[in-house]
Amino acid sequence: MIKITLPDGSVREYAKGTSSLQIAQSISEGLARNVLAAKVNGATWDATRGIEQDATLQLLTWNDTLGKETMWHSSAHLMAEALEAIYPGIQFWVGPPLENGFYYDVDLNGQTLAHADFEKIEAKMMELARQNNIYIRKEISKADAISYFGDKGDGYKLDLLERLEDGNITLYSQGNFTDLCRGPHIPNTGFIKAAKILNTAGAYWKGDEKNKMLTRVYGITFPKEKDLKEYLTLLEEAKKRDHRKLGKELELFTFSEKVGMGLPLWLPKGAMLRERLIQFMQKAQTAAGYLPVATPHIAQKELYVCSGHYEKYGKDSFQPIKTPQEGEEFFLKPMNCPHHCEIYKSSPKSYKDLPVRYAEFGTVYRYEQHGELHGLTRVRGFTQDDAHLFVRPDQVKVEFCKVIDLVLHVFNALDFKEYTAQISLRDPENKSKYIGSDENWALAEQAIIESAAEKGLKTVVELGEAAFYGPKLDFMVKDALGRKWQLGTIQVDYNLPERFELEYTGSDNQKHRPVMIHRAPFGSLERFIALLIEHCGGNFPLWLAPDQFAILPISEKYNNYAQNVLNLLSSFGIRGFVDERNEKIGKKIRDNEIKKVPFMLVVGEKEEMENKVAVRAHGKGDIGAYAINDFAAYINELIESDFKQKESRE
């Protein structure tokens, strides 16, 4: 008999070889009908796999993230089976689950897969799903696996096999499809009740643009048809909120082929929005004791060799800039931190000087492949709200906690209410990817874990997600549509101070190394603004809106009065413009509603005579006539009240 410990601490005994699904059946038939996979001693297993020894057990359903991942992984195999039936000779590379759905990279061998084919693939998937085919796990020798995929003529799977060790290779089969796979999988295809092919895209084999372009087929499945309908409704809302669409409609930013792919151009309204975010952060930083610095956009190659960035990213960066001087090479700045290290080093420091906090809105440049560029979320030039703190070891935890406070201040001000702090640690099985001693890594990881606990953050731990120079705390934010975005990040770094030989004189009159903390609450302005646009659907908080009002004269006759109103309101520090177009008032109202201007001030004969404005609120309509001074006071009161309410939540 084996002992199985359940999440509530209770212990049950079962015969050796009993599966998680059988254990679920012994608890409740209803529970068993919903079990997709199981967590056995911390590892995710097939629910049908027998347990041979004492273990902890967590049964995974659709309500668990790992349950969803398992179903979507199995759905990728189901889609592959459907594709193989429709496209004879197709070959498969990899098909992982995603946060929402899954994809499979395939080589169609000259065949075409168009949008018109999606329904046919979906129908085939559901036909196969209804067969309730069992996902069967089979351990296989490397030689036999090579023989199987060799006979099938699947060179992509043979390539994967080259990197696998004999004794750790498994195949999974369902129906007429067999794949090289670690698993786990759901018990059978019958759990899949609704399927949708979302889109296709090109994807280079192994992510290398020198290799063949494969077709990446994206899909999603659900255990209920109504779940799919709700998801598709959400997708339609996401399309309406797409920052690329709204960015154009709201005249915030554009791109130019002549300037270059992935290099955004900020239009006046977008630049004003960007500038207000910068001012907001600068105000908070000044109050927290940060010192502003500025650094150039290029630096000598040797700077990044010293920092380690060249070794890790040199091949994937923009290539060196040569000068007339023989052997002299410069790089576009990919990071601000090496520059800040040199600023720290420019003058001697005492233990009394620490912490030193340098802050810069620094633009950096990183080469991204064409296919990876996406609006403002994936660009080649972006501005970080970057800061680096140089602290004594005894100050690390306190300063880290203060940075967490700053990140939460940003989230609160912009109504990001749902977030998780991801503690990103080193991969203990592959330490060669990282620089620095085990001792320093242990110290840094402990500082992050303790700080997050002290602040009461909801956290998850992810192994292998650390930066190459140190662990980090990444904030994963949920937007209004429930999608997760990685935003602010904080990193502890014991390694760059070593590389740059940074020092301070301690109270013992000896030289010591400071500890470095990297932080960027926005992450990058480009990505943050993209998220903000989609989160609020372009309806920015009143304090941040590029234009807080639009003045709409009923006819040209009232343009002068409208201009006088604009001048007076501007003197109160609120922003707007006069819509002087020769259009009917109804069209002006509709157009400014589309542009999501918070308030529209209609002016005509009556308003001019009474020195007032007729006010319309975006999405609400007429809210009455205001004297100009009263309207300015109303706007400022709304902003002040909003900030006070948010401050009370901090």
Task: Kindly list the catalytic residues.
Answer: 337, 366, 384, 386, 388, 472, 518
**C-alpha to C-alpha distances, 338 to 296, 334, 411, nearest whole angstrom:** 12, 10, 28
In whole angstroms, give the CA distance from residue 243 to residue 529. 8
Looking at residue 428, its amino acid is: P
Helix (H, G, I), strand (E, B) or coil at 84: helix
- The CB-side HSE value for 415 (13 A sphere, CA atoms) comes to 18
In whole angstroms, give the CA distance from residue 98 to residue 102. 5
Q: Which residues contact 580 (CB under 8 A, 6 or more apart)?
A: 553, 556, 559, 562
In whole angstroms, give the CA distance from residue 30 to residue 279. 56
Looking at residue 206, the DSSP 8-state letter turns out to be: G
The tokens of 547 are what? 């234009």
- The CB-side HSE value for 533 (13 A sphere, CA atoms) comes to 30
**Helix (H) / strand (E) containing 496:** helix 496-499
- The answer to whether the CB of 78 falls within 8 A of the CB of 196 is no
**Helix (H) / strand (E) containing 68:** helix 65-86
- Residue 454 CB coordination number (10 Å): 13
**C-alpha to C-alpha distances, 471 to 115, 354, 420, 541, nearest whole angstrom:** 43, 22, 16, 34
Closest by Cα among 417, 474, 476, 469 to 440: 469
Q: How far apart are the first and last CA of the chain?
A: 53
The tokens of 607 are what? 């308003």
Question: Max alpha carbon distance in the chain (Å)?
Answer: 93
The tokens of 184 are what? 């786990």
Give bridge partners of residue 173 from the DSSP assignment. 136, 178
**C-alpha to C-alpha distances, 36 to 102, 136, 177, 401, nearest whole angstrom:** 16, 14, 20, 39
DSSP string, 106-131: EE-TT----GGGHHHHHHHHHHHHTT
Where residue 38 falls (left for φ over 0; alpha for ψ -120 to 50; beta otherwise) is beta
Report the interhelical angle of 525-536 vs 225-241 (nearest 10°): 120
Closest by Cα among 646, 636, 618, 478 to 543: 636
Q: Is 217 exposed, middle or buried (0-12, 13-18, 19+ CB in 10 A)?
A: buried
Helix (H, G, I), strand (E, B) or coil at 56: strand
Backbone angles phi, psi at 378, to 5 degrees: -140, 100
Closest by Cα among 217, 164, 225, 172 to 194: 225
**In 520-583, alpha helices (H):** 525-536, 559-571
